[in-house]
Amino acid sequence: MAMALDGIKVLDLSRLAPGPHCSMLLADFGADVTLVEAIPGSSAKLGGTSGMRRSEGADRAAAYNALGRGKKSIALNLKDEAARRVFYDMVKGADVVIEGFRPGVVKRLGVDYATLAKINPRIICCSVSGFGQTGPYSNLVGHDINYISVGGALGVTGRPGQAPAIPVNLVADFAGGGLTAAFAICVAIIARAKTGRGQDIDVGMSDGVLSLMTSAFSGYFSNGQPIRPGEMLLNGAAPFYNTYQCSDGRWFSIGSIESHFYEALCKVLGVDEYLQSQFDQAKWPEMIGKLQGIFKTKTADEWMTIMSQYDICAAPVLEMENVVTNEHNLARGMVVELDSPIGKVKQIGVGPKLSDTPGKPRTTAPILGQHTDDVLKGLGYDAAKIAALREQGAVG
């Protein structure tokens, strides 16, 4: 079956989560992704037929590394001129180069967009960095927590008077970074079909976070009221859009904003006295207290059984072990099994469902340098040349 990105060749120089997530998304939809990985020790002279000998530990790590699935791996020491020439040969037939270094590193390595565009004017380069390639923060180091701080997401989470609630690194690394980069690359591919030229893409994760907050800031620009943690309808102030602990210690989420959903909620919980008080914010703390007591009388699963019979926006807060056994997630194909050198392994499936060209995880991740020889042979390098490159530490 044809895949949406069949024929698109991607070279991925990135290391940390955002870049690999981006190229995983592209690979899931058919892109031919080659990881261009560093040789351990930069210039280590490694024997064998690949950069890393197979071992139980290496195979297991690769099998469960979902971000590396569907990709090949070549090990190159880009500080070596011969390795750079190999990379340039790869760029001649490539469509996309992804990198996640600090600003300026690719220029020092000689693999920046200006250099690569001279080799292949159709090349699309995508740089994924914390704060982008320009601006006063561009050279600052950081991680997800810092990018969601500058992008505004961390400042609106949590409960009043408490420290901000720190989410797992989803918002900046994966949404603001990887997902935004994959979207931008697909846009650039479409643009290239019109212009015949590639282009340079600058993805700053803090920019991506701020873009995700477009709607939130629309309200602020309109009424001048900033969102504070736990003080608005959508971040914890409203009793009908909140979480409640159940008798089994688990949590249950309610999102009954619309009037008919709210009315159904009040009737099922037996709090008809609040039917006319949905947007009476003075009564919200009282109602939250009442609902806290009610939800403590049943387990999360019992509440789901009750709520699902009515038009009520509700769901248990699933712990990780329950997410991957949940009947809906399984029915949607969001937990898949892949064959690997260590047997079948489970991974998370593909989110978007395309009717004609669906995505699919195809292979588990390679070990470091697993495809070095294959890639070099595909570029026309003979066995003697490959051996010489490995001996001088240019490839692994």
For 57-73, the pLDDT digits (tens) are 999 999 999 999 999 99
- pLDDT tens, position by position, 297-325: 999 999 999 999 999 999 999 999 999 99
For residue 261, is pLDDT > 70? yes
For residue 334, is pLDDT > 70? yes
Output the pLDDT for position 52. Answer: 53
CA distance 227 to 213: 11
Which is nearest to 262 in space by CA: 243, 281, 275?
A: 275
Output the pLDDT for position 56. Answer: 85
Output the pLDDT for position 388. Answer: 97
- pLDDT tens, position by position, 168-193: 999 999 999 999 999 999 999 999 99
Sign of CA pseudo-dihedral 189, 8, 334, 65: negative
Output the pLDDT for position 43. Answer: 37
Residue 349, both tokens: 């499936």
Output the pLDDT for position 53. Answer: 63
Residue 156, both tokens: 């609106």
Helix (H) or strand (E) holding 279: none
For residue 11, is pLDDT > 60? yes
Residue 108, both tokens: 């020092």
- Report angle CA 125, 126, 128 to the nearest 5 degrees: 150
CA distance 63 to 359: 19
376 contacts 386 by C-beta, under 8 angstroms: yes
Q: What residues does 241 pair with on adjacent strands?
A: 255
What pTM does this model have? 0.95
CA distance 257 to 241: 7
- Please give the domain boundaries of the chain with CATH numbers for all domains: 9-212+330-391 (3.40.50.10540), 251-316 (3.30.1540.10)
Give me the active site residues, please: 143, 173
Burial 217-249 (b: 16+ CB within 10 A, else e): eeeeeeeeeebebbebeebbbbbbbbebebeee
- pLDDT tens, position by position, 25-53: 999 999 999 999 999 875 333 333 344 56
Which is nearest to 57 in space by CA: 274, 368, 396?
A: 368
